[in-house]
Amino acid sequence: MAGRKTLLFCAFFLIALLCGCSLFNLQNDAESLLTGTANAGSANVAFNIVVPGHANLSPAVRASESGAKVTFRITMLQPDNTSNPTVTFLKTATVQADGSATTTFSGLPEGAAIGEISIIGGNIGGKSIFHGASDLFPGNNTVTVSPKGSLHESDILANAMLAIAADPELIKISKPNLVTNMANAAATLIANPTADVYSKVFESITMNPLTFDSTRYTQIDISSPDGSIRAIGMTTWSITPDQFWQNTPLADAGLLPVSVPRQGTGDYAIISWKNAIRSNHAFSKLSTTGGTLLYYLKSTATDGFMPLDGYVLPGDGSIVIAGTYGGKPTLIRWSGKDNTDLSSGLTATGLTWSTVFDIASINVASASISYLEYDKTGTGKILCSIKDPSAGNRLFFVDPATGIATEEQQNNNFGLWAQVGSGTIALGWDGIDAAATYKVYYATGTVLATQTAPLFSTKEKVFLFENLINGQT
């Protein structure tokens, strides 16, 4: 196919000791750390790791270097504690070479929780960062975690929970059994995930009376077919798009509201707008008391910046928006404190910062931001996953204050994994958009010479090596 290429896994050695195969143990005597203040409880927690598409993959971790470590983190919401709305528990385990085991937490308070596993110097199924969410109850609990950006139910719920954890206004109005109710409220979206499922689920649950106390905030609803904005809950009002934009430069732009990134918790809400042919885009910050426009950000197809469906809310009235600029993945942070016109470029008044990632699209595939989260209570960074059509998924940690992005060094960007059996090794990887076929070289011993080593070429993303000798490298 024109424009596509063959991806060579020439840096990969098929070097595996078939008995043991570098699987390692997570010791249970790791140091525990508590940040914040929490009430005592009786919830015990274990983790269940799921790698979507690899139902038979062992959850044991493969170490890529000596001294590999695994960090287990549980962050809990505390709706009744305004001074400490979240609390975090940590355990760190050193990787051993004698099999696998589990790490558990005990005596935790009950309530909604986010669980995360981060592996430094190793991976499970080619992935190193996992998360999930669950309500914790007295007794034994299991938190299912999956790779970030995997579109698994646990990943989607954890992403929404991170957004809630970043907003104390949402935490204090959250209802009991929050995660369970979130899963029920967004069940259809979660069961049929699309690329914009993270934003859609968050918007769905923040509008649902199952998850948040509707008497304690203003819910913003978009009415069909005229696009009127309707407020219910603490305040009640209704306004049409023409009324909303009158006497502004956007009065004749034909904009209609399409989503509500931030509901009316506190004194403001944020709405996203587009016109019918998607040539004009806007974000508006409005007062919850009467629907009055406070500030707006506008862009057009000719400005260079094209908003997509991803965003995060730092919690200070600003919004970080994912999009493209000049065909490259881009993040911008709009302060929400100025009227911002992007026709003047990414230096426009009102932009706190902009970050353009130097990852180009190719003629058969686009470079795009595929996952976005703001981990305010943990790393304090924005995690941005970018689909590089030539190199796979690349992870960046972005400073929310400056927009400076630092790429997370991974063992590989294409999720390479191996599963060992008796006399067999199953080898798999994530697809890369620019690759039409994949070549994998293999050999026994400790040296792989691609000029002479046997290889196979395949369009598939899983291959089974059979008739191997147990114990041979």
Give 72-88 pLDDT, tens digit per residue: 999 999 999 989 999 99
Question: Is 457 a member of any domain?
Answer: no
Residues 118 and 263 in one domain: no
Q: Which of 143, 175, 207 is a domain's end point? A: 175
Question: Is 65 a member of any domain?
Answer: yes
Residues 126 and 222 in one domain: no
**Measured between alpha carbons, how far is 142 from 130 in angstroms, rounded to an integer?**
14
| More confident call, 339 vs 443 | 339
Question: Is 419 a member of any domain?
Answer: no
Residues 164 and 76 in one domain: yes
User: What confidence category does residue 26 fall into, taking pLDDT thresholds of 50, 70 and 90?
Assistant: very low
Residues 163 and 241 in one domain: no
Specify the pLDDT at position 282: 97
Question: Is 54 a member of any domain?
Answer: yes
**Measured between alpha carbons, how far is 376 from 149 in angstroms, rounded to an integer?**
18
**Bridge-based pairing state of the strands 328-334 and 305-312:** unpaired
- Under 8 Å between Cβ of 77 and 88: no
Question: Is 1 a member of any domain?
Answer: no
Residues 349 and 232 in one domain: yes
Question: Which domain, by its residues, includes 311?
Answer: 187-407
Residues 391 and 338 in one domain: yes
Specify the pLDDT at position 11: 31
Element containing residue 184 per DSSP (H, E):
helix 178-185
Task: Give which of 100, 217, 93, 207 is closest to 160, Cα–Cα.
Answer: 207
Token pair of 308 as six digits: 């997509």
Residues 214 and 283 in one domain: yes
> What is the tens place of the pLDDT at every residue in 98-131?
435 456 788 999 999 999 999 887 777 778 899 9
Residues 269 and 391 in one domain: yes
**Measured between alpha carbons, how far is 161 from 155 in angstroms, rounded to an integer?**
10
Q: What is the CATH number of the domain that holds 264?
A: 2.40.128.630
**Measured between alpha carbons, how far is 191 from 117 in angstroms, rounded to an integer?**
24
User: What confidence category does residue 8 fall into, taking pLDDT thresholds of 50, 70 and 90?
Assistant: very low
Structure-token match 């100025």, residue found: 338
Enter the DSSP assignment of 182: H
Question: Is 463 a member of any domain?
Answer: no
User: What confidence category does residue 273 fall into, taking pLDDT thresholds of 50, 70 and 90?
Assistant: very high
Question: Is 253 a member of any domain?
Answer: yes
Q: Which of 121, 145, 175 is a domain's end point? A: 175
If you average pLDDT over every residue of the chain, what do you get? 83
Residues 152 and 191 in one domain: no
| More confident call, 67 vs 46 | 46
CA-based max dimension of the chain: 78
Residues 115 and 68 in one domain: yes
Residues 147 and 203 in one domain: no
As for how many domains the chain has, the answer is: 2
Task: Tell me the sheet residues that pair with 93.
Answer: 70
Q: Which of 140, 175, 210 is a domain's end point? A: 175
Question: Is 413 a member of any domain?
Answer: no
> What is the tens place of the pLDDT at every residue in 202-242?
999 999 999 999 999 999 999 988 899 999 999 999 999 99
Region 240-246: mean pLDDT is 96
Residues 156 and 300 in one domain: no
* AA letter at 115: G
